[in-house]
Amino acid sequence: MAEGGPVAELSVAPDDRLLGERIGGGVLGDRIYVATITVFALCVPLLLALILLEVAVAGWPALREFGVGFVTSSEWDPVQEHFGAAPAIFGTIVTSILALVIATPLALGVAVFLSDYAPPWLRQPVAFFVDLLAAIPSVVYGLWGIFVLIPILRQHVIPFIRDTLHLGSLPLFSGTSYGYSIFAAGLILAIMVLPYISSVSREVLLAVPRSQREAALALGATRWEMIQKAVLPFARSGIIGGVILGLGRALGETMAVTMVIGNRHDISASLFAPGYTMASLIANEFTEASGEMHLSALMAVGFVLLVLTLLVNGIARWLVWRVARYAEGHRA
Amino acid sequence: MSGAPRGSGPTGRQRAVAERTARTILRRRVVNAMMTGVVALAAFATTLPLVFILFHLVRSGASALSLDFFTQMPKPVGEPGAGMANAIVGTLILIATACAIGLPVGIGAGLYLADYGRTRMANVVRFLADVLNGLPSIVLAVFAWQFLVRPLGHFSALAGGVALAAMMIPMVTRTTEEMVRLVPTALRESALALGYSRARTAMSVVLRTAGAGIVTGALVAVARIAGETAPLLFTAFGNHFWSVRLDQPIAALPLQIFYYATSPYDEWHRLAWAASLVLISVVFVISIAARFATRSSAGSGHGD
């Protein structure tokens, strides 16, 4: 049966005049019902527009005052009322990329494991386990970060990288570190975005037609060759979509990052140095903002973050949607 | 068989080809086996953080949990018997506020999307719901602050509830749509054929059939917002005292975890662990229950 067809026709074109009086409210009831759900549906675009408007209006004074300098200057001085958000933007991008670099291979591994390797009885539990990572509140990740991850980093990981591997002279790993760092934030973010990337990738991999796999196997490919040559290329844009979706999450993640990044306005080449992200900057300074311009600057940071995540999410949705549409066309 | 003449053995060249083929096959098999190991290892490694986090939560949180935690108010450092009664009630009030705003809008929009699934407006609404879902929670806090806190002049539970509702709406919209789409076409058509109005069909047939799924979706959304801290930072703000008023700042468990975790006192750290354990227990119980609810309803199919 063509799915959706009859329903769509029935409900899209209800000719009330032909149906006359009906049980349960009749034409008037229907009008009220349709009007109600239409209004609720319109709430979604309205809410989004309202959010954009309010944040833009609130950030406008700072954006107008500092112009392009707002995103290029790294001077953040509430006393002199000069605000440049470059360190926060830098920190946001670096932590997010770090998170993706760590999380993507793992997430892909899990997704492939779940779609092509795991025995059926193991699929549901492992998928559920990974999904539970997404259910842990951000603030709990932060708590764990402060009391478990950071001590481990400070006592074991950072000395190991510097002294045992002799990488301490590289700018990337230089400077004194107390554990609170860009690196810690990236690590926590990696755990947090992993379930998003893996669940999208899994769905995309499962959407790859069976014939694609069978054709590869019939040509004599091993299982890995099948995945590498027939499955992954087919799913590529969907997987990239999942990764970018993860990027969107990482860019806006607030609490866990605020608790472990060290909160310092500084652009440093070292991953072990403390930094700031846009979200943590807002979270940290908002309630203590010293004046109207400081507040407006924080709102403007929120606006930059908003625009950035809108762009990133838009691209991601488009990529995932493209694969989903292709798979749907093939199933029909 | 057909190529080589009968009786003569393989030529040197044929032997070399055969050897090369054997080597290639061996290499491909080794790579295949290695990748199986790598993939399994990735899956294993991914489950580790969850195990670690739960382990530390239980170890550090369980010892700090007592009846006092649920019944007593926060106390200054050093005083025994401190609890988070106000934060627990505050979180419940915030969730209720968010649900009061978010559920009708989310479910209504979901019904619309399921009904008008292929129209241009439905596509736009669906896309924007996804966009809304992807917005950082801190941005929603900024919005709620500008929209409610600034005009009213003070922090309030209502502003926190609005920020949480903005998170909830897109989630509920999408799950409602999915659940309503699962309602068999025949069921709706029968109701319409019997002369039921569309409104009545939606209320007594569609919502009733999809009800369990919609409730599950709503619960999952509640589980998500229950642990959110960022939207509350400068909206609900937190409160050291007992307050149940919507127009006043209100305490919340996640906020309390944040303040206590970043404080210098060991005792407060222990309370933060305890609060995290409570919070995560609630979130996990809802997630697991939802998981089983959707699986059993999917398993029974369109039977009844």
Give domain limits for chain B. 9-62, 68-300
Q: Which helix (H) or strand (E) holds A77?
A: strand A76-77
Secondary structure (3-state) at B80: coil
Helix axes A278-285, A86-112, angle to 10 degrees: 120
Listed by number, the residues of chain A in 193-252 with a beta carbon closer than 8 Å to a beta carbon of chain B are 194, 198, 222-225, 227, 245, 248-249, 251-252
- Closest among B144, B148, B124 to B135, alpha carbons compared: B144
Listed by number, the residues of chain A in 43-82 with a beta carbon closer than 8 Å to a beta carbon of chain B are 43-45, 47-48, 50-51, 54-55, 57-58
Q: What is the pLDDT of residue B199?
A: 85
Q: Which residues contact A22 (CB under 8 A, 6 or more apart)?
A: A30, B195, B196, B197, B200
Helix residue spans in chain A (DSSP H): 5-12, 16-19, 26-66, 69-72, 86-112, 120-135, 138-144, 150-152, 158-159, 182-207, 210-218, 223-226, 232-252, 255-260, 278-285, 292-331
Distance CA A243, CA A196 (A): 8
- Report percent pLDDT > 70 for chain B: 93
Average pLDDT, chain B: 89
Walking along chain A (332 residues) 10 residues at a time, the average pLDDT comes out as 42 46 64 91 95 94 92 90 93 96 96 93 90 93 96 91 84 83 96 94 91 94 94 90 92 95 90 94 89 93 95 83 68 46
Q: Are A138 and B227 in contact (CB < 8 Å)?
A: yes
pLDDT one-digit tens code per residue, B43-82: 999 999 999 999 999 999 998 888 888 988 888 888 888 8
Distance from CA of B206 to the nearest CA of A (A): 12
Q: What is the pLDDT of residue B291?
A: 81
Check whether domain B68-300 has CATH 1.10.3720.10, yes or no:
yes
Residue A326 vs residues A235, A286, A320, A321, A330: alpha-carbon distances, Å: 10, 45, 10, 9, 6
Q: What is the pLDDT of residue B6?
A: 56
Q: What is the pLDDT of residue A177?
A: 78
Q: Which of B113, B146, B201, B277 to mutate to test the interface with A (most CBs of A within 10 A)?
A: B146
Distance CA A117, CA A123 (A): 9
Domain architecture of chain A: domains with CATH: 86-331 (1.10.3720.10)
Average pLDDT over residues B91-111: 95
